[in-house]
Amino acid sequence: MASEAFPASRGVKRYAFGWQSFLASNEVGLLAVIAVFALVFAYANPGFTSPFNLYALSRVLAIDVVIGFSMMVVLVTGGLNLAVGSIAVSAVMVGGYLMQVAGLPIPLAVVLAIAFGTLLGWINGFLTVRMRVHSFIVTLATMSIFFGAMILATQADAFNELPRAFIGFGKERVFGFVSILLFVALAVWLGLMVVFHLTGLGRELLAAGASPAAARISGLRVDRATIICHSLSGGLATLAGLMLTMRNGAALPSMAGHIGSDWLLPAFLAPVLGGTLLTGGVVSVTGTLLGATLVTVLTNGLLQLQIGEFWVQLFLGLVLLLAVTLNSLRRAFTWRPHRAAS
């Protein structure tokens, strides 16, 4: 019944039938762009395809993908989460304390850290729903609160004697050149694909994002959807934070910059490049994966070409600008009057 009221095609891009629509899809376009850049970089610099660089690339990619997912799940409901970086740092510091000081077993500490991040996300969702204001202002406030509380609690000290087994996991390689972290990211991708494509919950979340008022009238619990998305976002942000901690070898309060704001650009880049709309109701899980891939390949390739590290940020800003502009252009082209009326 739910699938009839909210056909999947409304929100999730349905698998297209026929080559034409397949080739026109965002994902294929992204794949082509990634392939072109990868070829150019591989041609310009042989080091690009070296096993070590591929390993380094896959490790960064894994983290960027999960950061992108953590923002994507809130964009689904038309909200956003400025606090992703702040939540990640706060929860990672809790995880670091549990592992290094409290001496908890690693799996338990990891689960507790993710639970803590999920709780922080839940707080965002709860406040957004209760105060009836946009999640922008709520998460702007909580990014400052979470980060401030974390700094107060840790006095800006890092946990740099984490268990070897934890750090070591992040260094594992598969086939000699793929970081094991990438498989973690792919597992998350698979999980989110299942949620948004196959489950009633995913459709509910999308329907709530597409038109909250209509969803409410049809009996969907829109508030619950908002809270679920924010909780999920907090949990995923923490997972990304833990992966970054493995890469850094320590739980650092500064890993996401001032109040976690360094994560904002990668967090928005991946889903926006992938075709997820900021207005809610439309999500592309695979697009986010590919969007993060494009960003990582570009960053890595440009750095290898000895283009100053600092110019890369400018470049990524331009890419974001280009992506949103292209998205709005494409929407203008595919605009159909009968859709506007419905």
Partner 1 sequence: MASPPGSLVIKSILRQDWLGLLLVVVLAIAGLALSQPNFLSSFNIYVLLLGFSLSVLIALAQMVIIAIGQMNLSVGAIGGLAAISFAGLMEVVGLPVPLAALAGLAIGILCGCLNGWITHTTGLSAFIITLATLSIFKGLNLGITEAQPFYDIAPAVKAFGNARMGPIPVMLVAPVIAIIAVWVLMNRTVLGRQMLAVGGNPNAAELSGISIRRAVVAAHAISGLLAALAGMLAVARLQLGQPTIGDDWLIISFAAPVIGGAVLAGGHVSVIGTCLGVVIVTLINNALVLYGIDPFFVQLLLGALILAAVGINRYHEVQEQARRFA
The residues of the shown chain that bind partner 1, judged by CB under 8 A, are 80, 127, 131-134, 136-138, 140-149, 151-152, 155-156, 258-259, 261, 264-265, 268, 272, 278, 308, 310-318, 320-321, 324-325, 328
Task: Indicate the residue among 106 and 320 with the shorter CB distance to partner 1.
Answer: 320
Task: Indicate the residue among 184 and 323 with the shorter CB distance to partner 1.
Answer: 323
Tokens encoding 181: 């972290």
Task: Indicate the residue among 79 and 96 with the shorter CB distance to partner 1.
Answer: 79
Closest distance of CB 227 from partner 1, Å: 17
Nearest of 81, 148, 152, 151 to residue 118 by alpha carbon: 81
Closest distance of CB 334 from partner 1, Å: 16
CA distances from 315 to 14, 198, 206, 265, 310 (A): 32, 37, 32, 12, 9
Residue 174 DSSP code: E
Tokens encoding 341: 């009326």
- H or E element that contains 293: helix 285-304
Closest distance of CB 122 from partner 1, Å: 16
Alpha-carbon torsion 61, 92, 253, 73, what sign? positive
Q: Strand, helix or coil at 221?
A: coil
Closest distance of CB 273 from partner 1, Å: 12
Task: Indicate the residue among 195 and 324 with the shorter CB distance to partner 1.
Answer: 324
Task: Indicate the residue among 80 and 227 with the shorter CB distance to partner 1.
Answer: 80
Secondary-structure percent of the chain, ordered helix, strand, coil, rounded to 5 = 75, 0, 20
User: Taking the chain, what is the end-to-end CA distance rounded to the nearest angstrom?
Assistant: 20
Closest distance of CB 252 from partner 1, Å: 16
Task: Indicate the residue among 45 and 261 with the shorter CB distance to partner 1.
Answer: 261
Closest distance of CB 103 from partner 1, Å: 27
Rounded CA gap, 154 and 297, in Å?
35
Pairing of β 178-179 and β 173-174: antiparallel
Task: Indicate the residue among 155 and 334 with the shorter CB distance to partner 1.
Answer: 155
Closest distance of CB 241 from partner 1, Å: 18
Q: Strand, helix or coil at 296?
A: helix
